[in-house]
């Protein structure tokens, strides 16, 4: 759906020359108050044949447009009030950008309102398309980070080239940009410093570092203070050694973004109540990524059934990985081999 929208927009851009002509005719009207009629693709094409007598039509246009202009002067708390009068906002909506969530963040509403689609947005779309990003993701990306339009295109190209020079594959770059729209905002120097920090802190090889960055691009650009705290928690409070830590982080980089308090709570449950050693936790870091109550429910249910046996050397071994996998129904059927009613009754005694 969005693909076709993009195609429409790009097709319209071929009429750009004509559009600018009309805009000149309507000279004194500012772009912000530009009528919606002009923006919609169908009308601009239709209007094409009437180019011969523009002066006459211009007059009728102005009369019709008076409504829109008057509305736009009313001060508003949200972008929705301007949507009918601004072609840029309309194009953004057709891209799937959520204006509602943009306007809730400070200053971004003003910024988006002042954008001009042809001038500020389109070059970036072409740039992103060149990077191989699917148009379906544009809406989500621009919603997350509309400030991308503020950046210089040459800078962005440099940042992409930097990743290329670090031998990130095309797919990896694509994944990084779609999953973390803020990545492109970071200067090359800063990204380099971050990657350096990760490589040094966890003693990663180049391949592992690329794997980590691709798996969870958000971890690289995350709040540095928080990252340091998480590393401290993992290393000092939980006592993973350097080798285990790097394995853990590469397998589940998301652990670095979880709040340290939660992490310690989960770890203490897994380590003390479920009795799993560090080596086994490193084997399945999903345990630490799952919420504590979920672990608790499932482990205690298994214990009640007498199936909580996590030692691979013995019979009736249950892999800790399967505990956190899937929804409750899957867990009860395939891991606990019980039924949902029993599980519900069990939960109602907690």
Partner 1 sequence: MALTKVYDAATVFKHMNGILNVYKPAGMKVKHVRNAILNNICKGLNEMEQRNPRKFRENRILLGTGTAADHVLHSIGEQTDLSDHLLSTGPRYLPRDLSCATVSSLGDHTSGVLLFGINRGTVQSSSIRKNRPVRVYHLIGHLGSATENHLPDSRVTMRSNHRHVSADRISSLAASMQASHQRKMFELCGVDLQTQEAYELACRGLLRPADDSQLVVYGIKLIHFERPYFTLELYTINETQECLATLVHDMALDLRTVAHCSQLRCVRHAHFDVTDSLLRHAWHLPGIIKNLRQQRNILREHPQLLRQHRVELQISE
The binding site for partner 1 (CB under 8 A) comprises 36-37, 40, 42-43, 46-47, 57, 60-61, 63-64, 66-67, 78-84, 89-90, 93, 96-101, 293, 327-328, 344, 347-350
Q: Which residue, 109 or 253, has its beta carbon nearer to partner 1?
A: 109
Among residues 134, 188, 142, the alpha carbon closest in space to that of 164 is found at 188
Sign of CA pseudo-dihedral 60, 61, 62, 68 = positive
Q: How far is the CB of 175 from partner 1 (least distance, A)?
A: 25
Separation between Cα atoms, residue 216 and residue 180, nearest integer Å: 8
Q: How far is the CB of 27 from partner 1 (least distance, A)?
A: 18
Q: Which residue, 81 or 129, has its beta carbon nearer to partner 1?
A: 81
Sequence-distant (6+) residues with CB within 8 A of 32 are 72, 82, 85, 86, 113, 114
Among residues 186, 135, 145, 173, the alpha carbon closest in space to that of 10 is found at 135
Q: For residue 313, is it left (φ>0), alpha (ψ between -120 and 50) or beta?
A: alpha
Among residues 79, 76, 105, 73, the alpha carbon closest in space to that of 92 is found at 79
Separation between Cα atoms, residue 263 and residue 44, nearest integer Å: 57
Q: How far is the CB of 111 from partner 1 (least distance, A)?
A: 16
Q: Which residue, 82 or 222, has its beta carbon nearer to partner 1?
A: 82
Separation between Cα atoms, residue 96 and residue 279, nearest integer Å: 45
Q: How far is the CB of 337 from partner 1 (least distance, A)?
A: 18
Q: Which residue, 67 or 232, has its beta carbon nearer to partner 1?
A: 67
Sign of CA pseudo-dihedral 27, 31, 32, 36 = positive
Q: How far is the CB of 11 from partner 1 (least distance, A)?
A: 18
Q: How far is the CB of 314 from partner 1 (least distance, A)?
A: 28
Distances from the Cα of 158 to the Cα of 48, 151, 152, 192, angstroms: 40, 12, 10, 13
Structure tokens, 202: 């966890």
Q: How far is the CB of 90 from partner 1 (least distance, A)?
A: 6
Q: Which residue, 337 or 350, has its beta carbon nearer to partner 1?
A: 350
């Amino acid at each position: 759906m969005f693909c076709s929208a993009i195609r429409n927009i790009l097709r319209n851009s071929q009429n750009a020359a004509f559009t600018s002509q009309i805009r000149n005719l309507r000279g004194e009207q500012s772009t912000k108050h530009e009528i919606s009629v002009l923006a919609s693709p169908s009308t601009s094409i239709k209007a094409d044949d009437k180019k011969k007598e523009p002066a006459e039509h211009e007059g009728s246009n102005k009369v019709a447009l008076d409504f829109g202009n008057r509305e736009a002067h009313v001060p508003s708390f949200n972008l929705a009030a301007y949507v009918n009068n601004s072609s840029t906002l309309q194009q953004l909506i057709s891209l799937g950008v959520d204006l509602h969530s943009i306007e809730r963040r400070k200053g971004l509403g003003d910024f988006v309102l002042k954008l001009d689609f042809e001038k500020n947005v389109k070059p970036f779309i072409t740039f992103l398309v060149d990077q191989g990003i699917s148009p379906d993701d544009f809406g989500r990306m621009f919603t997350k980070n509309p400030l991308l339009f503020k950046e210089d295109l040459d800078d962005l190209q440099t940042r992409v080239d930097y990743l290329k020079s670090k031998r990130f594959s095309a797919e990896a770059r694509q994944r990084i940009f779609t999953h973390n729209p803020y990545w492109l905002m970071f200067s090359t120097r800063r990204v380099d410093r971050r990657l350096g920090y990760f490589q040094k802190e966890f003693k990663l090889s180049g391949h592992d570092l690329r794997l980590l960055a691709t798996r969870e691009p958000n971890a690289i650009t995350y709040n540095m203070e928080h990252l340091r705290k998480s590393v401290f928690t993992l290393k000092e409070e939980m006592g993973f050694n350097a080798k285990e830590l790097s394995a853990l982080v590469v397998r589940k980089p998301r652990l670095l973004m979880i709040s340290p308090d939660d992490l310690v709570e989960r770890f203490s449950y897994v380590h003390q109540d479920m009795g799993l050693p560090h080596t086994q936790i490193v084997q399945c870091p999903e345990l630490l990524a799952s919420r504590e109550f979920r672990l608790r429910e499932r482990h205690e249910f298994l214990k009640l059934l007498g199936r909580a046996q996590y030692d691979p050397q013995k019979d009736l071994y249950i892999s800790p990985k399967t505990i956190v996998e899937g929804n409750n129904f899957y867990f009860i059927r395939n891991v606990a081999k019980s039924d949902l009613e029993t599980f519900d009754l069990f939960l109602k005694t907690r």
